[in-house]
């Protein structure tokens, strides 16, 4: 299968977060992921998009979020970037420690890492780029081959 890539530049809004999540769900299903993995992928994308819009861009209408989806045949790669002040991973509290268990925020990076095979964070000037990778397992790869 040849690689397919699509990219969107979106406003810093909840509507953009929803669009990114819905697109992730659709492309994950198209890539052959089962329902559980489609939900995991779309939830990871939602967390990254919320971080970009809320924490990165602070809902600033002048700042944009970019979302790119790429299906390489071996993996679904989603890249989300913002134009904010940047993210220092060392300052992100561990949501599994007792003092953070009941906090309502701070679980985004943790969830992304739980749901995806790889999560990379890169500082931009300005902003942050998060790359989410979900490898196509044997069953998804077989499903894609069977549907050709």
The pLDDT value given to residue 109: 87
Q: How confident is the model at residue 32 (pLDDT cuts 50, 70, 90)?
A: very high
Cα radius of gyration rounded to whole Å, the chain? 15
DSSP 90: G
- Is the pLDDT at 34 greater than 60? The verdict is yes
Instruction: Express each pLDDT in 48-89 by its tens digit.
Output: 999 999 999 999 999 999 999 999 999 999 999 999 987 766
Cis peptide before 64 (omega within 30 of 0): no
Nearest partner of 127 among 36, 51, 68, 39, judged by Cα: 51
Q: What is the mean pLDDT of residues 92-104?
A: 67
User: The CATH number of the domain where 10 resides is what?
Assistant: 3.30.565.10
The pLDDT value given to residue 11: 97
The pLDDT value given to residue 16: 97
Instruction: Express each pLDDT in 114-123 by its tens digit.
Output: 999 999 999 9
Per-residue CA distances from 141 to 28, 51, 77, 113, 148 (Å): 12, 31, 15, 22, 11
Contacts of 74 (CB under 8 A, 6+ apart): 135, 136, 141
- Is 94 in a helix, a strand, or coil? coil
Number of domains in the chain: 1
Of 147 and 104, more confident? 104
Range of the domain at 121: 4-147
């Amino acid at each position: 299968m040849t690689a397919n890539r699509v990219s969107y530049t979106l406003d810093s809004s909840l509507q953009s977060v929803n669009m990114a999540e819905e697109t992730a769900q659709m492309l994950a299903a198209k890539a052959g992921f089962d329902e559980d993995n489609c939900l995991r992928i779309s939830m990871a994308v939602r967390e990254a998009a919320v971080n970009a819009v809320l924490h990165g861009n602070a809902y600033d209408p002048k700042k944009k979020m970019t979302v790119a989806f790429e299906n390489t045949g071996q993996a679904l790669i989603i890249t989300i970037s913002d134009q904010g002040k940047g993210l220092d991973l060392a300052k992100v509290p561990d949501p599994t420690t007792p003092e953070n268990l009941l906090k309502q925020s701070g679980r985004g990076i943790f969830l992304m890492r739980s749901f995806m095979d790889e999560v990379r964070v890169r500082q931009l000037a300005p902003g942050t780029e998060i790359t989410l990778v979900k490898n196509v397992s044997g069953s998804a790869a077989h499903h894609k081959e069977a549907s050709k």
